Chain A
Amino acid sequence: MHTICMLFALACGASAPSTARADEAVTNAIALARQLVTANPRSAEIMSIGASRGGASIECLRISRDLALAAGQPAVLVVGGLDGSRPGSVTIAVECAKRLLADPDKLDGVTLFVIPCANPDAFAPSAVRANGLSLRNARPTDEDRDGRTDEDAPCDINGDGVIAMMRRIAPPADAPPTHLPDPIDPRLMRTPDAARNLRATCTLHVEGLDKDGDRLVAEDSFGGVDVDRNFPHMWREFDRTAGEMPLSEPESLALARFITDRPNIYAALVLGRWDNLLRIPDHKPREPSGRFPAFLEEADRPLMEELARRWQSASGQERSADCDPAGSLALWMYAHRGILAVATQAWGCPDPPPLPEGTPAPPSDAPKPQDEDGAQWLLWIDRASIAGAFIPWQAFNHPLLGPVEIGGFAPHARSEPPAAELPRLGSAAADFTAQLIAGCPRPRLANVRARTLAPGLTDIEAEIVNESWLPTAPAMGRNSRRASPVVVSLSVPKAQVQSGQRVSVIDGIEGAGGRRPMHWIVQTAPGEPIHVDIRWRPQRTLRTTVIDGAVTANNEVLP
């Protein structure tokens, strides 16, 4: 069953008529990114954060209203192009950058990093054209452990230009059938149900041959490792697509180092396979030690719901596909780095166009195919007449498997939006990113009340307040203490602090007015200033000064 699921995943990632020029689209998007830099030299630059397994540069746009100030500002990260099933995510990321550069007011005080194509090997022309399977990077792999790498990749055997699925009719006894065409819609497959006398009749395979003569079909595909399964959190050991160890791949390691080296990143938008907005994860599963949630800290749910509402408002997206986020970039950022990481597929199955007037609607209690998600897609494909999105099953005589039928959903048909949709989705990503930027946490000292208790003895009461709607870190990051803390310190020596901590390390402050009370009694000489410094690594230090019981400066930005 697991193998079949993997085969489906491979087929979903293979090239299709609609995405045959995916490499060109990605190349054009990267070219546009470079043009943006040329056109905006004071506010955008491009840098390489590393190289892929295949030697391609992984490029990052750094954008700020004024690049000279970028280093000292909080930052938001946008990542696209993590796997080959979503070439559109590269375009969406670049469009996002383009729109925000065109509206610099939306970049106020925050640096934007955009990595449009985190896994360039997946979109390399050789990968896309020669193999059609470009989910992963270019690391050669020996999936069948026969000492040869990538020698039996899926291929287009019926010459229709697409690598689709094969269903083997009447398989032999030593390879018993596992599926049958769903009687309700025979285009879709389903599993058997003995109670309803639905017997399996076929086995499923990705389209291909037995090029290496081991009597297995297409079992050692072109590359490689799935970069978005190679991050440490919930990494799947011994799943060959996840790499031989966490961060074994140059792409994932470059991303991880880029992020750990930049503690000023407080939020991220990842355009990829996972979706934690329309499908907010369950908070109950735990990571292996059982001490922390695996996917979501329960206290973060309201924040995720608000983020989902804003994304849906920006994008109009209503559906998304289920995806296991184990080992993904976004989950790692959230669970291990304490970053507010939002993951979206950006596009899901659209609503089908309404039936022509006078056409009777199907009865609401009509039986549904087992593959309800597939049925929903077919509804849209049929009514909207999306050419090439579903390949009708056609008989073929396979040299090893005998009679088969080749067909099914075209690769990328359920993950890649139509090209005409990309500008709109880029605009949605820009709108949403702008809200992440506008919501930049701003912890500062507020409600400061200073008074002289006695000569040389000052009482200071205050609050550390974050009025922004985003927290300095999600609850996951606050509880794990992985996020940048808010450090509050007094300038006077500890011996003069009669009450309260001279240095307080606060794990984080919630958004929308989250606050922490502070109280000190400090001994000073007449006229001696007491500086209260707020340090949060994404932002510059803020200083409040009290002299002889009076506040003389409040939240001054230190250079």
Chain B
Amino acid sequence: MIRRLPARVAIIGLLALPCSGQQMIEGPTSIAWNRYYDAAEVDALIDTLVRAYPSLLTIETIGASAQGRPLRVITLNNAATGAANTKPAMWIDGNIHGNELQATETVLYSIDALCRAHGTLKPLTELVDGCAFFFLPSMNPDGRAAWFSMQSSPHAFRTGLVPTDNDRDGAIDEDGPDDLDGDKSIGQMWRRDRFGTHRRNARDPRVLEVVPRDPRPDGSIEYGDWSLAGSEGIDNDGDGQVNEDGPGGYDMNRNWPCDWQPDHIQGGAGDMPLSYPETRAVAAWILRHPNIAAAQSYHNAGGMILRGPGASYRDGDYASADRAVYDSIAAAGAEMMPYYTPMVIYKDLYTVHGGFVNWMAESLGVIAFTDELWSDRRILQNGNDPSPEQMMRWRDRVLFGQTTTDWTELPHPEFGTVLVGGPNKWSSRLPPPFMLEEEAHRNFAFTAFHASQMPRVAFRSIELKPLGSDTWAVTLEIANDRRIPTRTARAAACSIGMPDTLTWTSADSDGPTVVAAGPVPNRLESAFNPVSAEPNCLRVNDGIPGLGARTFRFLVRGSAGQRATIRFAGEKFKAIQTEIAMPKAP
């Protein structure tokens, strides 16, 4: 007899269940995921991981950055289940913007997590055994190295380090920011101004508050003491501008050969597509790996799961079938990562020409996301962005002042007395160390889900129907039980890559012989559409849809006992094949 419990007791019981506890999986590495690593340390971690998991990981140096740092792609593949190029593969990169640090730690965490779980956790073991992963932890090691070693801000060193004449005066990188207060960060700079827009808050002088311009009762207007003068620096080249030509000064995520536009249309795009050593090396490598079926590019920040297009006029590049795939994967991500939101780049963020994921999706037909790691909504953990006051308290009470520099009054050669300080380079865009591991894990989990949706095909049914003496109709269904089709609608529409092929190979020289073959548009109907040539090799440009199947038919002549191999192969899934023998005529 089942005794009914009062509803309230049942709910309390459910809440008390230890539903989220789990022990860390033991493994050969002990990497701290609650800290950030500079470029050299990242290289050392890569070596550590490859030494720890030699049966799964291999390294390939695919090129070098502008300053000569190696670009190292780590392949994760279980060779016991096939070579990496025989499986669907996922590309995961980070840190194309040098300042977006946690992207790299998340890539490294993902490698460690997958390798550690292999052989222990069934879902991840199956994932690793069924596909390959290609990781590039930092696509911009120069920017990363500079962010750590030089004075910087949360937003600086997004660029690579090819010297660039941003102010077009003939000199290169001659007027970058200057660390006037010596805190190794580039903070804000306010100039003393008796008609200023701001004043320091009386209770908390760290706060510069706007002075209202409403006239007083006597008609006079109150002014502040300070006006914003930009970021910390001086006019090094004497052209009247401050910090207008710093190191580098471009955006490698605008340099890809998809809707690439020159600098006067897309700022930071570079002289031509793939004009930087990093982007050229990566593109060449990716083009040599047509089995890449999924891609994620880690960035920061904003808690965005972004897909293309980057420009409104390319909206049509995403057919409804592809949009459905993107939507379902992104929705899963939004559930796994609190306060992350699926977005379309041009519509919900801003216009981007020449973006990396746009190239992957629109030029190569790969389901690709940009994952913008970390959102300030995670500070309060209630879905809201903190107010300036709440942010100040967060920095004081949780971060204990580590991300701010006290204001310092200094003489400035152009502006007289300036006030320098404020939030330092650690102050935004990055999760604090104690939240970094969670950030990395949740994003890894999302990426693993994305990878798990790469196409996996199987013969769902094979039926032989006699059509006469030694003549048979062989009808077979090929199913894909994952969300991503074997060929995206984009790939099919634009003839990207090679079509899937369904081939019939007779074991005997005299048969069974294919006399006609083609797709069956409706598996419940008997009619099919024979192709006009080469019926023993059907080219399936549309592929097999995600979570769907397609039906094909061969009309063959063969005598009993003759055998043939039917093979279905394509660029982005593991090929399948089966052997059939001609039965006796009924």
Contact = CB atoms under 8 A, between A and B. Distances in A.
Contact of B363 (A145, A245, A494): A245
Given A145-B498, A232-B260, A485 B273 contact: no
A482 B170 contact: no
Contact of B238 (A213, A291, A502): A502
A292 B533 contact: no
Nearest to A289: B265
B167 A238 contact: no
B243 to A, nearest CB: 15
B312 to A, nearest CB: 10
B495 interface: yes
A238 B495 contact: yes
Nearest to A288: B313
Interface in A425-484: 479-482
Interface string A210-229: 00011110000000000000
B263 A287 contact: no
B370 interface: no
Contact of A232 (B170, B273, B363): B273
B209 interface: no
Interface string B342-358: 00000000010100000
A291 B265 contact: yes
Contacts of B265: 287, 289, 291-292
Contact of A480 (B238, B264, B532, B539): B264
Contacts of A372: none
Contacts, number: 101
B532 A215 contact: yes
Contacts of B313: 288-289
Given A238-B494, A503-B240, A213 B534 contact: yes
Contacts of A480: 262, 264
Contacts of A535: 170
Interface in A251-309: 256, 260, 287-289, 291-292
A246 B263 contact: no
A256 B272 contact: yes
Contact of A503 (B239, B264, B534): B239
Interface in B284-338: 287, 311, 313
Contacts of A247: 257, 272-274
Contact of B170 (A237, A248, A292, A537): A537
Interface size bracket, B side: 35 or more
Contacts of B167: 505
B270 to A, nearest CB: 10
Interface in A407-441: none
Given A213-B533, A480-B262, A502-B238, A494 B272 contact: no
B60 interface: no
A71 interface: no
Interface string A475-503: 00001111001010100011100000111
A197 B261 CA distance: 48
B337 to A, nearest CB: 33
B171 to A, nearest CB: 9
Interface string B224-248: 0000000000010111100000000
Contacts of B283: 245
B13 to A, nearest CB: 59
Interface centre among B259, B271, B353, by most chain A C-beta atoms within 10 angstroms, is B271
Interface of A: 145-147, 213-216, 232-233, 237-238, 244-248, 256, 260, 287-289, 291-292, 335-336, 479-482, 485, 487, 489, 493-495, 501-503, 505, 535, 537
6 contacts: A215-B532, A291-B265, A482-B262, A487-B170, A489-B239, A503-B240
* Top 4 A-B residue pairs of the complex, sorted by shortest distance between their CB atoms: A503-B239, A245-B257, A480-B264, A215-B533
